């Protein structure tokens, strides 16, 4: 079980770092690269969300409390960010900027969740 959690966590973190990092970079510059990176970003988003769902099932399960609530807020922001990026392809700069804010909230939620009481 520990190996499964480590693998899922690694997959979740690596794909999430690419997704959030590329989104933040594209929201401030390199606008011409946005269409070229769209597929890679959406693949990373799907992988991040899928690994996150699996981690939730394995590590969080049915527990409730401040940590689970904080993680759920972060997960919801990530899912909305993926939706924004997918739906707003005609306005890539705006979609990247909205997604960048949402993914920043997601990252903060993931980082602080163990310390929320």
pLDDT at 59: 84
- Residue 101: CA count within 13 A, CB half-sphere: 6
Question: For residue 47, what pLDDT band results from cuts at 50, 70 and 90?
Answer: very high
Contact 89, 74 (CB under 8 A): no
pLDDT at 70: 96
Residues of the chain with pLDDT > 90: what percent?
72
């Amino acid at each position: 079980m520990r190996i499964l959690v480590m693998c899922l966590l690694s997959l979740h973190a690596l794909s999430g770092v690419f997704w959030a990092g590329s989104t933040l970079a594209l929201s401030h510059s390199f606008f011409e690269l946005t269409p070229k990176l769209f597929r890679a970003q959406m693949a990373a988003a799907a992988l991040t969300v899928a690994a996150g769902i699996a981690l939730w099932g394995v590590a969080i399960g049915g527990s409730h409390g401040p940590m689970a609530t904080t993680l759920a807020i972060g997960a919801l922001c990530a899912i909305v960010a993926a939706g924004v990026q997918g739906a707003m392809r005609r306005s890539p700069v705006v979609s990247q900027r909205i997604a960048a804010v949402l993914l920043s909230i997601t990252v903060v939620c993931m980082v602080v969740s163990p310390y929320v009481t």
